[in-house]
Structure 1
Amino acid sequence: MLDGATTVIADGLVASGAPDEIAGAAGKGTRVWILSHMALADHPDLEAKALAAATGIICPSAHAAAELRARHGHQDIVVATPGAVEADPAKGSQPQHIVAVAALLPNKSQLELVEALSHTQDLPWTAALIGSNDADPRYAAEVRAAVEHHGLQNRISVTGELTGEALEDQWHRADLSVLISRSESYGMAVSESLAHGIPVLVRKGTGAVEALGKTGAGTALELPETGNLTNTLRSWLTDPALQDRWRTAALKARDHLQGWGTTAAIVLKALT
């Protein structure tokens, strides 16, 4: 058992699986904070017990905090939104290049993006789905099959997980970023996009809307409303004025992104 001089930050998934241990540690004087990314879909009773026993709760967004309160009632929650790392602005591509940076998972809705892009084949563009193929191999196979089914192998690349220079190359080539997860606590890919001066499409009702904020650097879509994503992509691809407006807003947003130092300061203030 940890001694009373210790402060611990436990991930919500771990903490919710061990509420008795959380209570035991807190009862002996250990300060146990729970970092809850989002309310758990399963075992709300265990989650509630762990949250009640903890010294405090940290969430990465107001959206995630609201979901937790809706599930468990009033909670005193510290919101510490993720920071962004300063990056060089993207140069873009011809034809326009679209990126979706997320592991290939059903929640991330890459199939929805592929389907929408399949209805814009009369326009010039390329796209890259950048994320792990191993998190859900069956879904990843479905995404690749959809690309082949629509004959888009030469236009949509399924890159797998990228890091370092390979990932930066994709960011610097990009003109538009898409994160249309069905649920998202915050959406760090949105902040990374804005750090590169790249506008973003996100799904309404998720924490990604909070990450995009009121920057005007893209838009939040009501999905899966029929044709909404396709129509938005088509509008952007065919309207240079819209491209310039979103791009200008994204470049402006770079100057106002929160750094990780601010995130750390919020957490440290709470812990002390």
Structure 2
Amino acid sequence: MLDGGTTVIADGLVASGAPDEVAGAVRAGTRVWILSHMALADHADLEARALAAASGVICPSEHAAAALEKRHGLENIVVAQPGVEAAETAKGSEPPHIIALAALLPNKSQTELVGALATLKDLPWTAALIGADQPDPAYAAEVRAAVERYKLQNRIMMTGELTGKPLEDQWRSADLSILISKSESFGLVVTESLAHGVPVVVRQGTGAVEALGNTGAGTALDLTQPNTLASAFRRWLTDQELQHRWRTAALQARSNLPGWDTTAATVLKALGSGEGAE
């Protein structure tokens, strides 16, 4: 049990597994704010209890806040959009290089991405799937099998998780970034892409659309229809004017991205004012 008189911010995935502890801490005088960045889908009842007991709730996007309001009836959620750090401008590649930065998980839809790229063998491009394969080895094996089945081993690199210079090398060579998760509370990869001057393709109906905003640096696709992703790739690969427009918009968007100081100021203001979901 935490001592009273303090304020803590608890990760939503942790706090949602301990609703009684959250409630007990609040009763003891501790102000407990929950950072809800991902739904606890398999235990919605525990999540609801924890969020209801908390002093306040912080979300990374209006999309995530609306989902919580719909799922649990919460209101007055504080939205603190994640910030982004300054980054080196991407130089691009010849042929165009497409990157998808996400752990290999079913929600991230890498098999869907590989299937779309497989229809574009007549065009020049390379791609990299950048992300950890340990969280779901079975799905990672599916992705590798898809790359091999379509004979794309010389086109698509599966790099595993990258950090430091190897990751920056991928950003430097990127011409297009892809985040087509089925669900996404915000999509840090989107703003990170824009920080590098790289346009982004995202899936409609997710928080990644909010991260992309009205920048014009890419597009949000309705992927409920077959061949939509492949058609969008083909258009981008064959339309130099579209490539130039998206790239120019991504470069312009860099100067308007919020820094982490803005995120921190929003959170601190909420904590200081007591605004929240009480």
Report if aligned partners of 2:179, 2:203 keep a CA contact under 8 Å in 1.
yes
In structure 1, the residue matched to 2:253 is: 253
State the 1:262 CA deviation: 0.3
Given that residues 93 and 174 in structure 1 are in contact (C-alpha distance below 8 angstroms), is that contact kept between their aligned partners in structure 2? yes
Deviation at 1:38, TM superposition (A): 3.1
Task: Name segments (4+ residues, structure 1) moved above 6 Å.
Answer: none
The 1-side partners of 2:44 and 2:173 are apart by 43
Tell me the CA shift for residue 76 of structure 1: 1.9
CA distance in 2, matches of 1:117, 1:12: 36
Give the corresponding residue for 2:82: 82
Q: CA deviation at 1:43?
A: 2.0
| Structure-2-length-normalised TM-score | 0.96
Partner of 1:266: 266
Paired position in structure 1 for 2:45: 45
Alignment of structure 1 residues 216-227 onto 2, 5 Å: 216-227=216-227
1:222-241 equivalences in 2 (<5 Å): 222-241=222-241
Does 2:124 correspond to 1:112? Answer: no
Mapped partners of 1:93, 1:169: distance in 2: 11
- Equivalent-residue separation in structure 2 for 1:12 and 1:215 (angstroms): 30
2: CA distance, partners of 1:38 / 1:97: 30
The CA deviation at 1:40 is 2.4
Which residue in the other structure is 1:132 paired with? 132
Q: Matches of 2:136 and 2:48 in 1, distance apart?
A: 29
CA distance in structure 2 between the aligned counterparts of 1:44 and 1:154, rounded to whole angstroms? 43
Asked whether the equivalents of residues 39 and 71 of structure 1 are also in contact (C-alpha less than 8 Å), the reply is: no
Contact 1:184 1:206 in 2 (8 A): yes
Aligned pairs (5 A) from 1:37-186 = 37-186=37-186
Say if 2:191 is the partner of 1:191.
yes
Moved more, 223-232 or 116-125: 223-232
Q: Return the letter of the residue paired with 2:98.
A: I
* Alpha carbons 1:38, 1:67 under 8 Å: kept: no
Task: Tell me which amino acid in the other structure corresponds to 1:218.
Answer: G
Amino acid at match of 2:14: V
For structure 2, the residue ranges without an aligned partner over 5 or more in a row are: 273-278
How far did residue 64 of structure 1 move?
0.4
Deviation by residue 1:61-88 (Cα, 9 ceiling, x = unmatched): 1100000000011322100011011011
Question: In structure 2, what is the equivalent of residue 22 of structure 1?
Answer: 22
RMSD over equivalenced CA pairs, Å = 0.8
**Could you tell me whether the CA contact under 8 Å between 2:13 and 2:38 is conserved in 1?**
no
Structure 2 SS opposite 1:9: strand
Distance 1:37 1:183 in 2: 11
Alpha-carbon deviations, 1:196-240, whole Å to 9, x = none? 000000000000000000000000000131010000000000000
C-alpha separation between the residues in 1 aligned to 2:211 and 2:134? Answer: 26
In the superposition, the TM-score normalised over structure 1's length comes to 0.99
C-alpha distance in structure 2 between counterparts of 1:53 and 1:46, whole Å: 11
Distance 1:160 1:225 in 2: 30
The residue type paired with residue 143 of structure 2 is: V
Q: What 5-or-longer segments of structure 1 have no aligned partner? A: none
2:19 and 2:46 in contact (8 A); partners too = yes
